[in-house]
Amino acid sequence: YVANPKGRRVEARFPDPLANPYLCFSALMMAGLDGVENKIHPGEAATKDLYH
């Protein structure tokens, strides 16, 4: 959800506080690169406020 249509962001939430942050970040980066290289559609953007 964004008030300004030009404002967008990508949010990465780590799965668990005990997880290795380097391994988690590497897995997120590899998943993102795989999606870009294989032109995988990420799905529709969230259009509602997920926090409230």
By the 8 A CB rule, do 20 and 27 touch? Answer: no
**Is position 7 within any domain?**
no
Half-sphere exposure of 15 (CA within 13 A, CB side): 8
pTM of the predicted model as reported, rounded to 2 decimal places = 0.59
For the four alpha carbons of 33, 12, 2 and 44, in that order, the dihedral sign comes to positive
Number of domains in the chain: 1
**Is position 27 within any domain?**
yes
- Structural domain of 20: 13-40
**Is position 50 within any domain?**
no
**Is position 48 within any domain?**
no
**Is position 51 within any domain?**
no
What are 2-42's pLDDT values in tens digits? 677 777 677 777 778 898 989 988 998 999 899 999 999 98
Half-sphere exposure of 11 (CA within 13 A, CB side): 7
DSSP code string of 17-41 = TTS-HHHHHHHHHHHHHHHHHTT--
